[in-house]
A and B are shown apart, each in its own frame.
Chain A
Amino acid sequence: MASETTAEGPRTMVLNMGPQHPSTHGVLRLVLELDGETVVKAQPDIGYLHTGIEKTAEVKTYAQAITLTDRVDYLCPMMGNLGFCLAVEGLLALEIPPKAQWMRVMLAELTRLNSHLVWLGTHAIDIGAMSVFLYCFREREEILRLFEMVSGQRMMTTYLRIGGLALEPPLGFFERVRKLADILPERIDEYENLLTENPIWKERTQGVGRISLEDALEHGMTGPILRGSGLQWDIRKAKPYSSYDRFDFDVPVRAGGDVYARYQVRVEEMRQSVRIVQQALDGMPEGAIQADAPHVVLPEREKMKTQMEALIYHFKIVTEGFRVPAGDFSQSVESPRGELAYYVVSDGGPKPYRCFIRGPSFGNLQGLPKLVEGGLLADVISSMGSIDFVLGDTDR
Chain B
Amino acid sequence: MGEAGPVKAVLESVGLAVEAREHRRQWSLWVPAERIVEACRLLKQDQGYRRLSFVTAVDWYPVEPRFEVVYSIHSLERNDWLRVKCRVSGENPEIDSVTGVWGAAGWYEREVFDLFGIRFRHHPDLRRIMMPQDWQGHPLRKDYPLSGAR
Contacts and interface: CB of A to CB of B under 8 A. Distances in A.
Contact of B1 (A55, A239, A327, A343): A239
Interface in B32-74: 50-54, 56, 58-59, 70, 72
Most buried by A among B58, B83, B106: B58
Interface string A226-237: 000001010000
A47 B146 CA distance: 18
B123 to A, nearest CB: 14
Contact of B70 (A217, A233, A343, A362): A343
B9 interface: no
A330 B107 contact: no
Contacts of B139: 52, 55
A55 B88 CA distance: 21
B81 interface: yes
A90 B129 contact: no
Nearest to B106: A366
Interface string A202-239: 00000000000000011110000000000101000011
A56 B26 CA distance: 26
A330 B72 contact: yes
A341 B103 contact: no
Given A218-B103, A362-B107, A366-B106, A55 B140 contact: yes
A46 interface: yes
A200 interface: no
Given A218-B103, A345-B58, A91 B129 contact: no
Nearest to A46: B129
Given A219-B104, A363-B104, A91 B56 contact: no
Given A218-B104, A330-B81, A358-B53, A50 B24 contact: no
A46 B108 CA distance: 13
A344 to B, nearest CB: 11
Given A47-B130, A217-B51, A54 B140 contact: yes
B68 to A, nearest CB: 9
B56 A327 contact: no
A349 B106 CA distance: 33
A338 B89 CA distance: 34
Interface residues of A, number: 37
A231 to B, nearest CB: 8
Nearest to B112: A356
Nearest to B103: A218
Given A47-B131, A339-B53, A90 B140 contact: no
Contact of B104 (A50, A56, A220, A327): A220
A41 B51 CA distance: 25
B150 interface: no
A354 interface: yes
A358 B102 contact: no
Contact of B103 (A93, A219, A354): A219
Contacts, number: 86
Contacts of B52: 220
Contacts of A335: none
Contacts of B103: 218-220
Interface string A166-205: 0000000000000000000000000000000000000000
Contacts of B104: 218-220, 363, 366
B53 A341 contact: yes
B129 A47 contact: yes
A238 B75 CA distance: 11
A238 B79 contact: yes
A329 B130 CA distance: 25
Contacts of A220: 51-53, 102-104, 107-108
A170 to B, nearest CB: 35
A134 interface: no
Interface string A34-66: 000000000000110010101110010000000
Contact of A343 (B72, B102, B115): B72
Interface in A8-58: 46-47, 50, 52, 54-56
Given A218-B102, A345-B58, 15 more contacts: A50-B131, A52-B139, A54-B115, A59-B146, A217-B51, A220-B53, A220-B103, A239-B79, A328-B28, A328-B58, A329-B26, A330-B26, A356-B54, A363-B54, A366-B106
10 contacts: A47-B130, A233-B76, A332-B81, A343-B56, A354-B58, A356-B70, A362-B107, A363-B104, A366-B107, A396-B130
Leading 7 A-B pairs by shortest Cβ distance: A220-B104, A50-B130, A358-B54, A356-B56, A47-B130, A218-B103, A327-B23
